[in-house]
Amino acid sequence: MPSPFQLRGAAFVAILFAMGRMASGGFFEFGERPLGSEANRQAAAFLGAEAERMGYEVQRLPFKCTRWERGPSFIDRGGERVEVFAGPFSPAFDKLCDAVMVTSTQQLKRTKCEGNIVFLRGEIAKEPLMPLDFPFYFPDAHREIYALLDEREPAAVLAVTGKHPACGLNPYPLFDDANFKIPSGYLDEAAMAKVLAGKGKIRLKLDSKSIPETGEQVVIRKKAAEESKGKIVIFAHMDTAYGTPGALDNAAGVEVLLGAMERLKDYAGPYDLEFVPFNGEDSGMVKGQMAYLDRFGKEMDAIRLGINIDAAGAKGSKTAVSAYNLEDARQAWLNGEIAKHPRIERGPEWVEGDHSIFVFQGVPCLALTSSNLREGVMAISHTPQDTIDQVDQGLLGEAADFIAGLVNGL
């Protein structure tokens, strides 16, 4: 008889296959599935169908979004061609311009940018900017940079960057925002040195385009058997960034979500259950999250526990469980549940995930990730290296067991 884990392994292969089949040209083992892509819609349809097969009620919340395509981009200065990267959702661009270099917000205020290519380097480009008016977190320093660029009207903006603080991109785009209308791109210091070695005006060509698309936020629900004592929400984002097959980030989390759904399909306890494959965590547009909040945000107070799974299951790691807004009595209970599983442990709090949406509202939450999140997973996430061979499927089955145990014991 196959073990439950083997059964789950088969389903894992099924979802990866479903996602992978949609990959352009089949180059990636999984296939990237950013918001608005056909792979993304197929993955959402697959998850809805799986939930219905298990007997859950499924709601599908449609949204409009933007898909992005890019091709080779470059700077040409005096016949010397240097590769650059078009920024996500940048308008296309191909012009010969003068260029200026800006390293701080103060300097940006004093620099004539109109009609020029502006290089942002150093202090001003030290961290990726949140998308304009990002609903969950938007620092004033970022707002000021957007406002100044808007006012100064550069022809294009090129950021000189290095290693991204929270994923494997190197260099990284400073702007990742479908609403940012100034053509933008990025390059690393080595490429910048080549540009600086040239003389005269700069031709910048950015091959990039945005296409209006649609997507779907699937919400999977099961009502409490008797009078409800509140809601338990379990979630894992199903979308990827561009340019990655997204195995650890976060097909593995979706597999844990599916595993928990399978284990809880006959749940007859006192809580309403909700399973949410959030669609937009790796997009600045967070469309699925917004659609969810539009429809179910008013039920926030009813949530007794939220559980996020993101970047769990890395080979050579354990599953790290961090807790937020949890009462003391629940802490002890959680430690007891963790102790039942050899490869699950307590981990530090982190904020770069969908649990933050709930944590900031005071909802008790847990987040499951890999114990090597910072030094391991983040080094490859959002890159082509985030492939299935990085995933330890045994950890995923254990995590699903753990979640089912929590829900049944609450």
Q: Which residues contact Zn ion (rule: CB under 5 A)?
A: 249-250, 310
Nearer to Zn ion, 50 or 310 (CB): 310
Rounded to the nearest whole angstrom, what is the least distance from the CB of residue 278 to Zn ion in the complex?
9
Closest CA to 277 of 10, 89, 48, 99: 48
- By beta-carbon proximity to Zn ion, the closer residue of 290 and 377 is 377
- The alpha carbon of 34 is separated from its chain's Cα centroid by a whole number of angstroms, namely 9
**What's the CA gap between 178 and 257, in Å, rounded?**
29
Distance CA 44, CA 50 (A): 10
Smallest gap, in angstroms, from Cβ of residue 110 to Zn ion?
A: 39
Cβ neighbors of 180 (< 8 A, separation 6 or more) are 89, 90, 131, 132, 146
Minimum gap (Å) between residue 371 Cβ and Zn ion: 16
Residue whose CB is less far from Zn ion, 87 or 353: 353
Q: Which amino acid is at 85?
A: F
Q: Which is nearer to Zn ion, 48 or 353 (CB)?
A: 353
What are the φ and ψ backbone dihedral angles of 27, each rounded to 5 degrees? -70, -45
Q: Concatenated DSSP letters for 40-69?
A: HHHHHHHHHHHHHHTT-EEEEEEEEEEEEE
Closest-approach residue to Zn ion (CB) = 249
Closest CB to Zn ion among residues 195, 257: 257
What is the gyration radius of the CA atoms in the chain, in angstroms? Answer: 23
- State the minimum distance, in angstroms, from the CB of residue 172 to Zn ion: 16
Angle at 122 between CA 120 and CA 126, to 5 degrees: 90
In one letter, which amino acid is 99? A
Residue 332: strand pairing partners: none
- Judged by beta carbon, residue 184 or residue 317, the one nearer Zn ion is 317
Question: What's the closest the beta carbon of residue 97 comes to Zn ion, in angstroms?
Answer: 37
99/104 Cα distance (integer angstroms) = 16
Q: How many CB atoms lie within 10 A of CB 208?
A: 22
Least distance to Zn ion, CB of residue 270, Å: 31
116 is written with which tokens? 């020029």
CB atoms inside a 10 Å sphere around CB 337: 17
Q: What is the rounded CA–CA span in Å between residue 84 and residue 81?
A: 10
Return the number of the residue (188 or 352) whose C-beta is nearest Zn ion.
352
Nearer to Zn ion, 259 or 277 (CB): 277
Question: Closest approach of Cβ 381 to Zn ion, in Å?
Answer: 7
Q: Which of 47/149 has CB closer to Zn ion?
A: 47
The percent helix, strand, coil of the chain (3-state, each to 5) is 35, 25, 40
Minimum CB distance to Zn ion, residue 256 (Å) = 13
Instruction: List beta partners, residue 203.
Output: 76, 96
Cβ 239 to Zn ion shortest distance, Å:
9
